[in-house]
Amino acid sequence: MYRSRCSHALARGSDGTVYSWGSNSHGELGLGDQNNRNEPTVIHQLSEVRQLLATGYDGDDFSFALTEHGRLYSFGINGMYIFLN
């Protein structure tokens, strides 16, 4: 079992769909708002994702998604709604 200090999670389904859930006080779920989610919710803006990372430290949570084409998406504290090319 992996334990993280962050209060949110990301997962990729077998069909490539990306889901997020948990605390969203800094936009770390990548859903365009700051509403917490108790159940996995699809991030419709992401596709062809190769790797996901949900991380944080002392409540400053953020997420990364790397696509098959090498694009890195970042969302959460100090990066809310900012996408890196």
pLDDT of residue 78: 63
Q: Identify the segments of the chain with pLDDT beneath 50.
A: 1-3, 79-85
How much is the pLDDT for 43? 94
pTM above 0.75, yes or no: yes
Instruction: Write out pLDDT tens, residues 60-71.
Output: 788 889 999 999
Tell me the C-alpha to C-alpha distance, in Å, between residue 2 and each of 5, 6, 14, 20, 64.
Answer: 10, 12, 20, 17, 18
Task: Give residue 81's pLDDT.
Answer: 46
Domain locations in the chain as residue ranges: 8-84
| pLDDT value of residue 80 | 43
- What end-to-end distance do the CA atoms of the chain give, in Å? 33
